[in-house]
Amino acid sequence: MGIRGEIEGAQAEIRRRNLSRMLRDLHLSRPLSRSELAVRLRLDRSTVASLVSELAARGVVRERRRSGAIPQSPGRPSPVVELLPDGPGALAVDIATDWLGAAVVGLGGRIIASTRRDRSLCNTPPQKAVEELETLVRPMLAGLENGPRIVAIGVSVPGLVRSEDGHVHLAPALGWRDVEIGQLVREQFTELNAPVFVGNDADLATSAEYLRGSGRGTSDFICIWGEGGLGAGIVVDGRLLGGSAGYAGEVGHVTIDPNGDLCHCGARGCLESVVGEEALLRRSGRDPLGGTAAFEDLIAAADRGERVAIAALAESGRCLGIGISGLVNIFNPNRVALGGLYARVYPYVRAPILRELETRAIPAPRAMVDLVTVRLGGNALLLGAAELALAPTLDDPGALPLAEEPAPIETGDAPEGLDSEASRAPVLG
């Protein structure tokens, strides 16, 4: 490649990255005017206009005139750029221990439609689970009159997922081992002609909470997610830890009692075997495989003040506090959020968790961390699966097909609040 080719390649890469930065800004915030985008991205107005024109031509955004513009502002009011309701979107799927869920999610984290079926999936063959998923998803898709174009499918699974290809090495709570769940989903929904991305449920919940929920404003964040099992997503310096193959965050399988009960993973005394749903139900005198119904009964009993139920929850909180203390000592997070069943029982486990933190966590990192619950609730898994599926589109919007030719660039916008230094800043890659 000659010098000219190298220059053209560098320019194309700069444009790709700027398109990505603009789309991510719109995806994670709100509609923004061209002038606001220029300030945020530190680009000149003509570059912003060109980028907006390309995103519009690819069916991602549209522009509208700002209402209530200041009459005395020079030039025309800067148009507001917003995501198209029928732009790119994802089919998000949640395969949990006690239910199947799905949603159509557009850019901006908009849940357009969702559906869920409560039932135990423990020891259900993967192919059967995916076939049942189809009976849940197709009516939802058929009921959509106007919605986003599905460009990818994201799948949340409670297990060890290899990030490279979505291979589920082990999902103990489901009884699955070495499952190509992505391939099964792809084959079940061939007519969508969409790539499938698979992620661990705790990682996906953490991603959604970090971007849109309880983790916003932090740089180091941990989300403890528990439904049938127990996992965690760990954000360090703004990056989700994945490990060399994507298996990081399996805190539920840290040994806290070498002589304890046998865990689904095959080891003894794992944290999950002490604080997971089955352990909690068993401790309260209920069927450990009772699922959602038994758990709801436990909560109702605790709300009535029944001592056995409250004591069972307090013991789970104590053990969970031991595990969280270790995480605080190792990762020094700003915030730890509890999600899944732990968010539901938070009023009963908060005090014992905090007691363990006070006695087991090193004082300096302990003083820096807040304990909270997730903000997105059960939607965290679906929103996280959608983020995973839409990541390639956000990384390279220019790969989307052109729906039309880019419109001519208008350069007469009023510089509403445009900082002169920012307007002269170099283009950032």
Question: In whole angstroms, what is the distance from residue 346 CA to residue 6 CA?
Answer: 56
Structure tokens given for 27: 């995806």
Q: What is the β-pairing status of strands 160-161 and 168-171? A: antiparallel
More confident residue, 229 or 424: 229
The residues that bridge with 270 in the sheet, in sequence order, are 255
Neighbours of 370 (CB within 10 A): 11
Per-residue pLDDT tens for 323-374? 999 999 999 999 999 999 999 999 999 999 999 999 999 999 999 999 999 9
Residue 81: strand, helix, or coil: strand
Q: Who has greater pLDDT, 7 or 189?
A: 189
Q: How far is CA 49 from the centre of its chain?
A: 31
Q: What is the mean pLDDT of residues 82-101?
A: 95
Residue-wise pLDDT tens digits, 280-300: 999 999 999 888 899 999 999
Tokens 């964040």 locate to 221
Q: Do domains 88-203+379-395 and 214-373 have the same CATH topology?
A: yes
Instruction: Evaluate if residue 21 carries a pLDDT over 60.
Output: yes
CA 170 from centre of chain: 21
Q: Per-domain residue ranges for the chain?
A: 3-85+399-423, 88-203+379-395, 214-373
Please determine, looking at this structure, whether the domain spanning 214-373 carries the CATH number 3.40.50.2300: no
CATH number for the domain whose boundaries are 3-85+399-423: 1.10.10.10
3-state secondary structure of 424: coil
Q: What is the token pair recorded at 376?
A: 């997105």
CA separation, residue 264 to residues 123, 233, 259, 321, 410 (Å) = 12, 20, 15, 22, 62
Main-chain dihedrals φ then ψ at residue 277, nearest 5 degrees: -60, -45
Q: What is the pLDDT of residue 76?
A: 63
The answer on pLDDT for 7 being more than 80 is no
pLDDT interval class at 409 (50, 70, 90): low
Q: Which amino acid is at 429?
A: G
- Percent above pLDDT 90 for the chain: 75
Could you give the CA distance from residue 261 to residue 247 in angstroms, rounded to a whole number? 23
Strands 221-226 and 335-340: parallel
> pLDDT tens across 143-179, in order?
887 789 999 999 999 999 998 888 999 998 899 999 9
Helices (H), ranges, 284-306: 291-303
The CATH code of the domain at 88-203+379-395 is 3.30.420.40
- DSSP-derived secondary structure letter, 35: H
Cα(135)–Cα(57) distance, integer angstroms: 35
pTM exceeds cut of 0.85: yes
| Tokens read off for 214 | 């309880």
Q: What amino acid is encoded at 280 in this protein? A: L
Are the beta carbons of 389 and 8 closer than 8 angstroms? no
pLDDT at 412 over 60: no
What sections of 143-191 are H helices per DSSP? 181-188
